[in-house]
Amino acid sequence: MGETGGRVIVSNRNHCLVADSSGTLHRCHPRSRRSPRPVCGDRVDWCADATAGWIDAIQPRRNLIERGDFRGRPRGLAANIDRIVVVIAPQPAPDALLIDRYIVLSEALDIPLLVWGHKQDLAPVTPTAAMRALETRCERQGIPLLMGSIMTDNGLARLRTATRHETLILVGQSGVGKSSITQALVPTASRRIGEISATSGQGRHTTSATTWFERPDGGALIDSPGVRTLRLDHLTTDAVDAAYPDIADATRHCRFNDCRHGHEPDCAVQQGLASGAIDADQWRRWQRLREETSG
């Protein structure tokens, strides 16, 4: 029996779990070793008998989020996403370079991004300098930056409203609260995780697999495992420039086309750094990500 329109909700190395139209999970395998590997969020044609299931085809993707593996080769993480939600918290402290990596990814794929400042019950009364820099950055680049927590009533209401009917992927460091947010936005999530464990034979505490959940008010939410970094070797320097519009703009106003922005005369970047128009930390991160993506 063949079916269309299944949703891949988890994809492992050798199999994936497909939710059929009624939400029931089926463990499915690719037809062969060379078949393209489905990722979380894929729509697939699939079939199953009493003992096993197979993926016949992956339906065309609207987009595909990839990150570099340990050698920098792109690996699929999730597909068909409306918005990347970068979750940060006072604890563990935000990593500005990691946030920038997600901004670059969002520019490269043209997927809107939102920064969610979580665990506000733990936030200091006076925002840290890093937090203020992020606020300025988001404001200048039109990136929504919202805050809340699961400890306060309606703490996630702004996130829910700002992303109504969208398919979100929650990303960020381990322990910032992605799974807690998932649980708050999708009350059936823990039951679902139980079903996934039963079907795939794995238990879990911290999130170990990128997982799709239907949101009760429409749209979907993908919870992903926490990361330390996000390799972007497979992207181009254009995506980095798009994520740092102020710096990219300055580099176009240097006197020399091949300016290396060091000690050259009339370097617009050095002038911007001297006047404070360009943030020195941001400049170092731009250099680092340009280097990584130009190889």
Which chain residues interact with Zn ion by CB under 5 A? 254, 259, 261, 267, 269
- The reply to whether 251 sits near ligand GTP by the rule CB under 6 A is no
Q: Which two tokens stand for residue 134?
A: 């992020």
Residue 259's binding partner out of ligand GTP, Zn ion, Mg ion, none, with CB under 5 to 8 Å set by partner kind: Zn ion
Identified binder of ligand GTP from the candidate list 175, 242, 246, 290, rule CB under 6 A: 175
Sign of CA dihedral 119, 156, 77, 11: positive
Interacting residues of 5 by C-beta distance below 8 A, sequence separation 6+: 21, 43, 45, 59
* Amino acid type, 156: L
3-state secondary structure of 247: helix
Tell me 160's DSSP state: H
Residue 221's binding partner out of Zn ion, ligand GTP, Mg ion, none, with CB under 5 to 8 Å set by partner kind: none
Residue 232 and residue 66 in contact, taking contact as beta carbons nearer than 8 Å? no
Q: Which is nearer to Mg ion, 163 or 211 (CB)?
A: 211
User: Hey, which residues between 104 and 123 contact ligand GTP (CB under 6 A)?
Assistant: 118-119, 121-122
Report the nearest approach of ligand GTP to the CB of residue 193 (Å): 11
Distance CA 143, CA 294 (A): 25
Report the nearest approach of Mg ion to the CB of residue 54 (Å): 30
Q: Which is nearer to Mg ion, 149 or 179 (CB)?
A: 179
Supply φ then ψ for residue 268, to 5 degrees: -70, -30
Q: Which two tokens stand for residue 283?
A: 């400049």
Residue 114's binding partner out of Zn ion, ligand GTP, Mg ion, none, with CB under 5 to 8 Å set by partner kind: none
Report the nearest approach of Mg ion to the CB of residue 190 (Å): 12
Residue 119's binding partner out of Mg ion, ligand GTP, Zn ion, none, with CB under 5 to 8 Å set by partner kind: ligand GTP
Q: Which is nearer to Zn ion, 81 or 267 (CB)?
A: 267
Identified binder of ligand GTP from the candidate list 136, 190, 206, 294, rule CB under 6 A: 206
Angstrom CA distances, 76 to 31, 38, 65, 79, 137, stand at 18, 8, 6, 8, 29
3-state secondary structure of 85: strand
Interacting residues of 284 by C-beta distance below 8 A, sequence separation 6+: none
Residue 285's binding partner out of ligand GTP, Zn ion, Mg ion, none, with CB under 5 to 8 Å set by partner kind: none
Which stretch, 26-34, 51-59, 69-77, 145-153, contacts ligand GTP (CB under 6 A)? 145-153
CA angle 50, 52, 57 (to 5 degrees): 120
Binding site for ligand GTP (CB under 6 A): 118-119, 121-122, 149-151, 174-180, 206-207, 225-226
